[in-house]
Structure 1
């Protein structure tokens, strides 16, 4: 019997695991943005001492994990599992990182929703008693993503105003059966929602309907209200997707205007840094959540957030074949105290 199931899409964790440590590392452009003080490491060169951008991204993951472990002086070989993913074909950044770390590995692909997906599955494994400590990690890199999904960087193509800037960065969470929070209490798994967008330079519009669907489902399933949350945090809808999300939610009687924050809008100063619509990529919500929002939770400045990482589930092949871009969004409820649990 699914005793932890709530409603159609949500589970309530009966033994809510703690996020006991996080690690973050970002690229130079991200390090010039408004959240720079919340990142553990800011690299000076996108190649990060490697001979390819793909190797650089894999190294970002390993460093984010190392940062998280070092903060609590916990040995890597005591970690039960790694849940990791990225944007690259066959998630090679995560796979090669896990190869070097030699920890049992679950490779995930949820596009830019992968941070919430990894936290969801990692928390359920810990809550279920299958592990004591797991690492949830994702990454992205501007240069690896651009040349895979859009254009060779050498062409210097002009980007439309709807385009987003893929974050170079990685974030890692250590999820533990023991700890004093922040706790993961509820997980709402998203459905694939396809609004029919075919423009690979308009990810916000492709993902916003999925974000709206998951957020609305979360409130229906749990009985929570907006008053129970300090923030509803999406992954990387940026300016265009944010507007669509707010409109769609309002149509369902949910006014997110005062509560909504988007990691793609937090990480860059769009006007000064010329990121057009804002940030994107797996590393966007990973670095902003594990850096900025985790800091707010850990220091008691906020009590509960709903992290809703958003993903566009397309590939170079599907785009070339004229397919639309399906969206997905997974929600994770994270709080500092276990007062109201829904």
Structure 2
């Protein structure tokens, strides 16, 4: 049932029965590295282009997810995915090989959670029983499209973030024993904080994250302290601090965390931290998933944030509208 202001309660409580995360070479030093399934040491991975390599990362993550779920690819009903490249071409080409009924989604870096919400809705409707959902990003490909080719050697300000090379996917099914479940989802609204700087995504996306978190808490009659963690996708270190300043709840300083702020640790080479559709997908579907499975976390809110700009709209002087989608996950033991 969809409540007021976009929150959905999933009565069937779809299970995240398995996950798969592949990352690139710069991600091997992440504090989350031990939770990743495969670290590929070459970003191009013997492919003709970075965009083609992005496709391979998706294919590998999907294969890992299905294998860990003790399933076969031909038994998957729907494949839902997104990335940051024009027309979702890496995900489209991965879907061509997977040969599964396919829904391509785009909410920029919020695509990971958007895909999980759509997958959960399909399970809720009874129209599907096994769904592969997730998102990806690829650093050199995304930099070339949205900013400058790496060969250009452009210098970035301290507010900039590093696009993660990663793909993260989940297998959603019904009634799986000892698997985290998705109890609620909150669909984001487009929020425009009137930011225009493409090198300060944290400031642009923070208002959308606040809007979604506030609506989710209100619609589920919850408060921040009810959660072990509320983790946003890729606000980065600066954006996370901006978000915390938007709340008066003192619990926000402990409960609110950000995958992008933590992804590369304290290494200043990455400026304000990480970003990209693969950032939230990789952290949510590895570290957070494991923490739910082992009982460290009992209840979490995952909020993926996305900047809905394009290279064209930026050149036309448009502001940067943003969105944030959320899912609430719990660990529920089933007999």
Please indicate, yes or no, whether the TM-score normalized by the shorter chain is above 0.5. yes
| Structure 2 Cα separation of the partners of residues 184 and 41 of structure 1 | 25
2:112 is paired with a residue whose SS is helix
In structure 2, the residue matched to 1:275 is 270
Q: Give the distance between the partners of 1:162 and 1:104, measured in 2 at CA.
A: 40
What whole-Å deviation, never above 9, does each CA across 1:13-68 have from its counterpart, x for those lacking one? Answer: 11111000000000111111211101000011010121110000011011001111
Aligned residues: 333
Does the CA-based 8 Å contact 1:7-1:220 persist in structure 2?
no
1:159-178 aligned at under 5 Å gives the runs 159-178=156-175
Alignment of 1:23-42 (within 5 A): 23-42=20-39
Q: Quote the residue 2:45 is aligned against.
A: 48
Match of 2:78 in 1: 81
2:117 to 120, 125, 148: 120
Structure 2 runs not aligned, ≥5 long? none
> In the alignment, is the contact (CA less than 8 A) between 2:225 and 2:255 conserved in 1?
no
* Structure 1 residue matching 2:254: 3-state secondary structure: coil
Partner secondary structure for residue 182 of structure 1: strand
SS at match of 1:249: coil
Task: Note the C-alpha offset of 1:338.
Answer: 7.9
1:5 counterpart SS class:
coil
The CA deviation at 1:276 is 0.2
Mapped partners of 1:72, 1:177: distance in 2: 13
Partner-residue secondary structure (3-state), 2:270: coil
Q: Residues of 2 paired with 1:102 and 1:123: CA distance?
A: 21
Partner of 1:297: 292
- Partner of 1:173: helix, strand, or coil? strand
Gaps of 5+ in 1: none
Moved more, 220-229 or 82-91: 220-229
Give me the TM-score of the superposition, normalised by structure 2.
Answer: 0.97
Q: In the alignment, is residue 234 of structure 1 matched against residue 232 of structure 2?
A: yes
SS of aligned partner of 1:310: strand
1:314 to 297, 309, 317: 309
Secondary structure of the residue that 1:87 maps to in structure 2? coil
Q: Which whole-Å CA distance do the structure 1 matches of 2:54 and 2:48 have between them?
A: 11
| Aligned position for 1:68 | 65
In the aligned structure 2, how far is the partner of 1:137 from the partner of 1:217? 24
Q: TM-score, normalised by structure 1?
A: 0.95
State which of 18, 22, 36 in structure 2 corresponds to 1:21.
Answer: 18
What is the root-mean-square deviation in Å for CA atoms of aligned residues? 1.3
Aligned 8 A contact 2:58 2:91 in 1? yes
* 2:3 matches 1:6: yes
SS of structure 1 residue aligned to 2:191: coil
Instruction: After TM superposition, give the deviation of residue 178 of structure 1 in Å.
Output: 2.5
